Structure 1
Amino acid sequence: MTRARLNGIEIDYQASGTGPAVLLSHGYSATRRMWDAQHAALGDGHRVISWSMRGHGETESPSDPAQYSADLTVADMRALLGHLGVEHAVIGGLSLGGYVSLAFYLAHPEMVRALVICDSGPGYRSADARAAWNQRAQERAVALETHGLEALGRSREVRESATLHRSAQGLAHAARGMLAQEGSRVIDGLPTIAVPTLIIVGDQDQPFLAPCEYMAKKIPGARLEVIRGAGHSSNLDQPEAFNRVLLDFLRSLPA
């Protein structure tokens, strides 16, 4: 366990291996530990960095709800890379981690060597669809405040992280501030992405198959890989297939 004080909070992270940097961000209510197998698979030839977002795992959970947002998450990613002396990296993540990776590119394109977006979506252009998503995020927050960590979902990455969280209230704040979405800047920005992009989705991840196909069409030159036998946690459900696809993509990148 390694921690750094960045942007006023203690952030828990892991960095291993040597070579070009790869920053991996987890899904909502998971932790950096969901990427342990990728540290092992990629570490020979890559510097793999994973971290836990605000309110998650061993990272600090600020008491102020205003300290949780997608913009602050992007700022934490940039601060962590700066702390580690990384100026240029492959930026990737799963679910919420994929969404904030897209947001990171739109904020700091000069720092992004390539993108890896897994089992994720770009948000909504429709205000009604976004409101429905945000209502579900609010319901998650209320459930956590009412029932504590027992209210966490049942997806694999969440189940395997359930005992690693420190604060149900922190996760509730994260649901309202980070999982909930404002505006359509990410989905609107897809055609402006100008780096190699890999999109991975499990063939059993029904809610995210269409969003991943959409991103593959809208991001110029994007590559879509569907992992057979995988659900929403494609890297955990089928780690060998996931790592094979990811390594192939990383090795294809220009030096």
Structure 2
Amino acid sequence: MLIAMQVTEHTVPFRDHETWVRSTTPDVAVDGAWPLIVLHGGPGMAHDYVRNIAELADQTGRQVVHYDQLGCGRSTHLPQAPADFWTPELFVDEFHAVRAALGIDRYHVLGQSWGGMLGAEIAVRRPDGLASLSICNSPASMALWMAAAAELRAQLPEDTQRALDRHEAAGTIADPEYVAATQEFYVRHVCRVTPMPRDFVDSEQQMEAEPTVYHTMNGPNEFHVLGTLRSWTIVDRLDRVDAPTLVVAGEFDEATPATWAPFAERIPGARSHVFAGASHCTHLEQPDEFRAVIADFLAEHDTPAHDDTAPAQA
């Protein structure tokens, strides 16, 4: 059964700036179906490429919230902010500012790529109200991410590898030959849909037009990581996560099994699911299958383990 949905867009204040929020709400909500807050990747890729996850509102009768993280998309851009401004803590605080502004006390979190890293940063702090965490296509450390990227890069055609090496050594990463070489990696391991879906293109174009966050925290592309996240890891903190956790990835994902294994191994009770034939943007490559897996997981954790307000049994 299809459920009619309402979409609202507005901004919420955050640290003297504005965070843009999009909320998709079913006309008839399913009782006990907690809101889902979606965290986009990049960092700095804006929400557009994960927008189709809003269809879970239709499928599950719950509110689905997207927002553009500070510095990208429709939120305040801060191209003059110093590098040390852009930290995981900043984005954890922004998440809670958005959640509080919407009056959401009990919720699920789904993060894709960097969004999954951010979701883990939120979860290790054990916030009240976190019903579940879905980590999608994300590494548990950037050291693991870079090692995986090097392995995948070594599988590219030799002329592609030589072009990458040559332009990186020369500092000419804006050269069309280098850009074309990076696309060979992207079509194998980032999004295997040809042509690239419009939502992905929209996010990418926004990032390229104002790349402050992506270039500062990550670097020029997915496998040439030079930014402030280079030394980021959450591996040694994962045992603090006490929310039910699902880890998903694609068979050809740039987030290879070695990158996300710590989530599955170190978060108590965590489960994992790999989508055959998919890569990093599983939600765009296999949207129906992706939403079905996520919907089942959310439904499993919509009902609290216990209700403190319920009358005691005689």
Please indicate the TM-score interval, normalised by the length of the shorter structure: 0.7 to 0.9
Bigger helix fraction: 1
8 Å CA contact retained: 2:40, 2:68: yes
Q: Which residue pairs with 1:162 in the alignment?
A: 204
What amino acid is the match of 1:230? A
Q: Which residue pairs with 2:5 in the alignment?
A: none
Structure 2 matches for 1:134-149, cutoff 5 A?
none
Cα offset, 1:159, TM superposition: 3.4
Structure 2 matches for 1:90-239, cutoff 5 A?
90-123=108-141, 154=186, 155-156=190-191, 159-165=201-207, 166-175=209-218, 180-182=229-231, 184=233, 186-239=234-287
Q: Name which of structure 1's ranges 172-181 and 207-216 shifts more when overlaid on structure 2.
A: 172-181
> How many correspondences in the alignment?
240
Cα offset, 1:41, TM superposition: 2.8
Cα offset, 1:2, TM superposition: 2.5
Find out whether 1:35 has 2:77 as its counterpart: no
- What is the distance in 1 between the residues matched to 2:248 and 2:256? 10
Q: Name which of structure 1's ranges 213-222 and 162-171 shifts more when overlaid on structure 2.
A: 162-171
- What is the distance in 2 between the residues matched to 1:2 and 1:178? 31
Aligned pair in 2 of structure 1 residues 169, 33: CA closer, same or farther (>3 Å)? Answer: same
Q: 1:169-205 deviations in whole A, cap 9, x for unaligned?
A: 3443343798615564x21111221111111101111
Cα offset, 1:24, TM superposition: 0.8
- What is the distance in 2 between the residues matched to 1:33 and 1:3? 16
Cα offset, 1:27, TM superposition: 1.1
Q: Over aligned residue pairs, what C-alpha RMSD do you find? A: 3.0
Q: Name which of structure 1's ranges 206-215 and 242-251 shifts more when overlaid on structure 2.
A: 206-215
Cα offset, 1:125, TM superposition: 7.9
Q: Which residue pairs with 2:19 in the alignment?
A: 11
8 Å CA contact retained: 1:3, 1:13: yes
SS in 1 for 2:218: helix
What percentage of aligned pairs have identical amino acids? 22
Aligned pair in 2 of structure 1 residues 206, 167: CA closer, same or farther (>3 Å)? Answer: closer
* TM-score, normalisation: structure 2: 0.67
Q: Name which of structure 1's ranges 81-90 and 150-159 shifts more when overlaid on structure 2.
A: 150-159
Structure showing greater Rg: 2
Find out whether 1:240 has 2:288 as its counterpart: yes
SS in 2 for 1:107: coil
Q: Name which of structure 1's ranges 222-231 and 18-27 shifts more when overlaid on structure 2.
A: 18-27
